[in-house]
Chains A and B, each alone.
Chain A
Amino acid sequence: MYKIFLYDGTFEGFMCVAFHIISEGIGKDRAIIVSKNEYQPMFIDSVREVQNDLKTFLEMRKGIIEKADNSVFKKIYYAFLSDTKDKEGYILRYLFFVFEHGKKIKYLYSDDLVNAVEKMAKKVSREIGKYMGLMRFYETDKGFLYAKFEPENDIIKPVAFFFKGRLNEFNWVIHDVRRNKVALYDRKKLQFLNNNNLKFEVIKEDEMVQMLWKKYFKSMAIEERKNLKLQQQNMPKKYWKYLVEKN
């Protein structure tokens, strides 16, 4: 019989569930992990809800880093941010592998599961990389820079941490429109909020700068080398919606 484990949908919560499953010797093929708000009850299930607990999370993290290394931990984190269906199942089985093989996991290219998790993580890291460059901030009336995006994966956290390093002297807000999540930075603290009631007006001066940027963007293209296909390959259309130079 399967055992169903519920968690709060966060990475920390997920790691806590995984910790219980592994330490209690429940086989990897007998456990199913589901986020609380996605779970639809069925009376035959045996259901257990695991609380999110920082100590357990840290212990789990330490374990992974000791067994493998930091890069494997990061891979797991990125894979978790992916919007792949049943990511929990993949990552759980991957975790069993990590504890079995340690560092060697990085070289098990031929294993399908390892491959699948690598792919999930890679997709996420690629999307983060793209948004480091393609996020566009607007200057607003409230003294905040404001950026909207609609990423495929749930990447607002790593993206926001990047901008915390970069735009550290400004107040700013990043808004994941698809999930209605917000990252808010006020030059001291970075906070993550779950819905956005903040209203911002773009100021006049910003429109002038947008115009300058559009002019510049156009003037950079070399007519004799025109290659729109390559442009789209590097900058797929799904990113264009909030791009100043493409609107």
Chain B
Amino acid sequence: MDILEKLEVLGAAAKYDVSCASSGSKREKHFGIGSTFSAGICHSWTDDGRCISLLKVLFTNECIFDCAYCINRKSNDIKRATFTPQEVAELTINFYKRNYIEGLFLSSAIKNSPDWTMEMLFRTVWLLRFKYQFNGYIHVKAIPYASLDLIKKTGFLADRMSVNIELPSEKSLRLLCPNKTKESILKPMEFITKVAEEEKNFVSAGQSTQMIIGATDDSDYKIINLSQHLYKKFKLKRVYYSAYTPVNHDPRILKVESPPLLREHRLYQADWLIRVYNFSADELFKSKDENLDLEVDPKVMWALRNLDRFPVEVNRASYEELIRVPGVGIKSARRIIKNRVFHSLDFEDLKKMGVVLKRAKYFLTCNGKTFERFLIDLPPEKIKQKLIDKNSLQRPRQLSFFDREVFTSVITGEI
């Protein structure tokens, strides 16, 4: 099989992995080809609107495991291919120097054994770093059940590593991934966290993971609660959510006609709230088997349930109070704080600072005045009716899985 054919097979096989961003690397550079850019750069956008920043391929799609949701599982009859380390390294360099990509995202199915696979990933990265002196971004997967030694060796050469948590609960994992245990995923994850804390230059852009949404009956509460845990306990940089695309017919998987993109979008927004805005999962959800409101964003959902905390007075509120107002982002909250030192702010000023009054006007006052009369006394249901996000109901937003948070507030969920 020639390289063109391999690339087609192993690129296509990797496309469902969404945890592909290239930002946040702090690896020091001394010599050789290329650099990482701490904010990350998009190099192209696919026909589905997602950003391409890395050459994202599987090393092989031959798998000894049989996960129900996965196109590469053992029991599927599909075209199989395996790269050599040399092939992947050359492709990366060739694409990189033409400015097609920022670096490499190397994942793999599990061929022969977990250790054989991990060894191949290690060799590929080794070639890139030492033979080609490549300094660009490298994200590589840690393979479940692979020896921690191999994972460690690889992590010293990578910018980021990730172990996919795959599913939001142990029950779902047992149901859909008969060959993987919770242990096999959490052990390497914990190991990477530990080494990263002790050693400099070990996965300097941190660790991430991804999970599949909508293939099982796990609630949004469960999902966000798990993420909160992962951020706290394992210090993950990002958790990525991937709306399940039905590639297999398997009775164990919930029937999905098309990937639940809107739900995925709301999860990113909720994730953003716990990661950046200091919300907790328990605050966002009332009960454990609850889901996010698809009609409005999670911040609006929360505010409507907590109307007793509103309205917030713009000229007095603390930063923490301000960022919890729907329509006020981190940036505009900072601007408000800086500006009100000079003069007291009115709604015109807020607009110029980037506050989205369409949402915010129900939840704040300027010098005791509301935006329009009577606004504040509206019942939650009325407010909600006015805030229903019709655009996203018609056409769920596509995410671009790209970390440049300032410029991509829409997709990362700043609300």
Interface residues of A (CB under 8 A from B): 104, 107, 109-110, 115, 129, 132-139, 145, 147, 163, 165-170, 206, 209, 211-213, 215-217, 219-231, 233-235, 243-245
Contacts and interface: CB of A to CB of B under 8 A. Distances in A.
Given A110-B352, A224-B245, A217 B44 contact: yes
B247 to A, nearest CB: 9
B76 interface: no
B11 interface: yes
Contacts of B11: 215-216, 219-220
A138 B44 CA distance: 16
B12 A134 contact: no
Q: Top 7 nearest A-B pairs by Cβ distance?
A: A230-B49, A225-B48, A221-B47, A219-B12, A227-B49, A221-B46, A109-B352
B95 A226 contact: no
Given A169-B32, A220-B52, A213 B100 contact: yes
Interface in B2-18: 3-4, 7-8, 11-12, 15-16
A137 B47 contact: no
A219 B55 CA distance: 12
Interface string B1-42: 001100110011001100000000000000011110100011
Contact of A109 (B7, B33, B37, B335): B335
Contacts of B94: 209, 212
Contacts of A167: 33-34, 97, 99
30 contacts: A107-B342, A132-B37, A133-B44, A135-B99, A137-B98, A139-B98, A145-B97, A166-B35, A209-B98, A212-B3, A212-B4, A213-B98, A215-B7, A216-B55, A217-B44, A219-B11, A219-B12, A222-B46, A224-B258, A225-B259, A225-B398, A226-B47, A227-B49, A227-B398, A228-B47, A230-B49, A231-B47, A234-B45, A234-B400, A235-B45
Nearest to B55: A216
Nearest to A165: B35
Given A110-B349, A213-B95, A243-B44, A219 B400 contact: no
Interface of B: 3-4, 7-8, 11-12, 15-16, 32-35, 37, 41-53, 55-56, 91, 94-95, 97-100, 133, 245, 258-259, 261, 335, 338-339, 342, 348-349, 352-353, 395, 398, 400, 407
A234 B7 contact: no
Given A168-B35, A219-B8, 13 more contacts: A107-B342, A110-B348, A132-B41, A134-B44, A145-B97, A166-B37, A215-B7, A217-B44, A217-B46, A220-B56, A234-B49, A235-B45, A243-B44
Contacts of B91: 212
Nearest to B261: A225
Contacts of A216: 7-8, 11, 55
Contacts of A104: 342
Nearest to A145: B97
Contacts of B339: 107, 109
Contacts of A222: 15-16, 46, 48, 50, 245
Contacts of B43: 133-134
Contacts of A168: 33, 35
A133 B97 contact: no
A226 B396 CA distance: 12
B48 A136 contact: no
A56 B53 CA distance: 42
Given A166-B35, A169-B32, A209 B95 contact: yes
